[in-house]
Amino acid sequence: MSFDTLGLSDKVLSAIQAAGYTQPTPIQAGAIPYVLERRDVLGLAQTGTGKTASFVLPMLTLLEKGRARARMPRTLILEPTRELAAQVEENFTRYGVNHKLNLALLIGGVSFEDQNRKLGRGVDVLIATPGRLLDHSERGKLLLQGIEILVIDEADRMLDMGFIPDIERICKLLPPTRQTLFFSATMPKEIQHLVDKFLSNPARVEVAPPSSTAENVAQSLHASRDDPKDKRAVLRELIEQAGDELTNAIIFCNRKRDVGVVMRSLERHGFSVGAIHGDMDQRTRMTMLDNFRKGNLKLLVASDVAARGLDIPAVSHVFNYDVPHSPEDYVHRIGRTGRAGRAGTAKMIVTPGDRKALDNIEKLIKKTIEWDGGSIDEMETAPRAPSRGRRSSPSKKADADSAQKSTRSRGSGSGGSATSPKGGDPTPPKSGPSSSSSPSKGSRRSSKESEPVFGESEFVPAFLLRPVRPSPPATSPSDDDGGDNGDAENSRSDDALVE
Ligand code: AMP
């Protein structure tokens, strides 16, 4: 199918050609004709499916008739995050090169007055986050009675972020005759309720079951002890194992405080890394994102809220540093890779405490994700074994510490310090259950055999090798993103080991 058959205007078609698109994606082919017919649309599509253009392209066509009046925007697009709002604006700029339309972005973190001036000049397309939109409306600076088309994008994310009451308030301020385009990746009952209440006989366009994960994404699980330090070591190893196949990657954490901790840890280990989370100011987030898009940063550590819907077309890897609590988040996270038909890789670090969350994910996506290396079950039943060394930690102290502390154990698979040029145990393997099954995995021997007896050799326990530090000040740099003390402590001791 080509774009020509969908009913889009010539101006839009020539912008599509300039963007290099030859074929509409399924959500575009499904939704665009309905939007042009002025039908309400319920679009069920994951991020990365071309969903944004599925409403931007027909809106541009429809907006060619009529013009904007001061303080009365003609169309309104609601987005849950500032980044998504900015991305929709970029889409309007890209596909609207042949149009003279006024856009305004109403998002938090930027000057209220600048936004106000724009509204005064008349706006064709208003792109907003719910809170900032209501602020403007309540100050009487914005009249919503002229809205012809309302887009509610990423509705399930709006729900997660507690925006549903705001959305309901906004809908009540709009003329009932408007056209509503509603997009969500998943359809929880609260979202269905919103659809029933505010959409009129919508055309339903579903491009993939909302719980499905792309077939072209290779998914795997990687066991770790329930210890941030151990998890960070596994993460580093996964990154290094990926080698040249990793062109860039997003690393997801459940908590924003961990975003900072993980980023600093990777930075200390010499990786090219940035971070993005909800508490950063707008400018920092945009700069970070821009650097990642341009390839100046190879890794981006992110929280779910900050990363939702980021338009980064070619992410080769997604690492789940944490198993997400909500199974839908897993679908969203791994949807960042394997976009537009490319192959992608999604690896998740799983600890014994994640069993329930993992079950929920596998139930939702209706498939079992394979373990790469030992599973958490094997880890619990296996004899205590020193872990593979920290490949990215050249220091002997780190190796000693790793051999002493980690009880992680792997079965077969790609893990293991035996493959690491730098890591590994200080002593060569002798024998043992693990090494006998796989000679190349020599580092995995029973700890009893390998543990030196204190005082009988030159062995010095790792804690004695750590530099003595004065007591930390009341607030340390490791705490500045709200990291909990446990993890911040861990990150400090990591400092001591690797630097
Ligand atoms: P979205 O789902 O809107 O975030 O879009 C995902 C990515 O697909 C973006 O980088 C778009 O620029 C790109 N894209 C959108 N439509 C098409 C198309 N018809 N052909 C190729 N790429 C597209």
CATH of the domain at 162: 3.40.50.300
State whether 191 and 236 are in the same domain: no
CA–CA gap between residue 263 and residue 86 (Å, rounded): 24
Q: Is residue 237 within 8 Å of 223, Cβ to Cβ?
A: no
Query: Given this model, what pLDDT does residue 341 score?
Result: 61
pTM of the model: 0.56
Q: Indicate the range of 60-69, 151-160, 373-382 predicted with least confidence.
A: 373-382
Closest residue by Cα to atom 20, ligand 1, is 21
Cα pseudo-dihedral 110, 113, 119, 121, rounded to 10 = -120
Smallest CA separation from ligand 1 atom 21, residue: 21
pLDDT of residue 343: 79
Q: What is the pLDDT of residue 213?
A: 65
Using CA positions, which residue lies closest to atom 8 of ligand 1?
50
Q: What is the mean pLDDT of residues 252-272?
A: 95
Shared domain for 189 and 222, answered yes or no, is no
CA of 49 to the centre of ligand 1 (A): 6
Atom of ligand 1 minimally distant from the CA of 311: 4
Q: 492 lies in a domain? A: no
**pLDDT-above-90 percentage for the chain:** 50
pLDDT digits (tens, 9 = 90+) for 25-39: 899 999 999 999 999
Q: How many domains, in total, are found in the chain?
A: 2
Q: What is the 64 CA–ligand 1 centroid distance (Å)?
A: 23
Tell me what pLDDT residue 112 has.
Answer: 84
In a domain, 423, yes or no: no
| Span from the CA of 50 to the centroid of ligand 1 (angstroms) | 4
- The tens digit of pLDDT for each residue in 195-236 reads 999 999 999 998 865 456 667 889 999 999 999 999 999 999
Q: What is the CA radius of gyration of the chain?
A: 26
- Tens-place pLDDT, residues 441-483: 323 333 333 333 343 333 444 444 444 444 443 333 332 233 3
pLDDT at 101 over 50: yes
pLDDT band at 328; cut points 50, 70, 90: confident
Over 369-418, what HEC string results?
Answer: CEECCCCHHHHHHCCCCCCCCCCCCCCHHHHHHHHHHCCCCCCCCCCCHH
User: Of the residues 148, 175, 206, which one is the last residue of a structural domain?
Assistant: 206
Is residue 44 within 8 A of residue 204, CB to CB? The reply is: yes
Residue of the nearest CA to atom 10 in ligand 1?
313
- Fill in the DSSP letter of residue 185: S
Q: For residue 74, what are its two tokens?
A: 């003609």
Is the domain of 329 the same as that of 182? no
**Ligand 1 centroid to 287 CA: how many Å?**
22
In a domain, 80, yes or no: yes
How high does pLDDT run on average in the chain? Answer: 77
| Site to substitute for ligand 1 among 6, 311, 337, most atoms within 8 A of C-beta | 311
Domain that holds residue 255: 217-381
User: Is residue 313 in contact with ligand 1, taking CB distance under 6 Å?
Assistant: yes
Last residue of a domain, one of 321, 347, 381: 381
**pLDDT of res. 321:** 98
What's the pLDDT tens digit per position in 42-82?
A: 999 877 778 999 999 999 999 999 888 889 999 999 999 88
Q: Considering the domain boundaries, does residue 221 fall inside one?
A: yes
Type of residue found at 452: P
> Beta partners for 273?
299
> Which residues are within 8 A (CB) of 162 and not within 5 positions of it... i.e. 6 or more apart?
none
How is the beta sheet containing 203-206 ordered, strand by strand? 103-106, 125-128, 75-78, 149-152, 179-184, 41-44, 203-206
* CA 58, chain centre distance (Å): 28
pLDDT, residue 390, reads 39
My answer on whether 41 and 79 are in the same domain is yes
Are 176 and 200 in the same domain? Answer: yes
CA 255 vs. chain centroid, Å, equals 12
Last residue of a domain, one of 349, 381, 413: 381
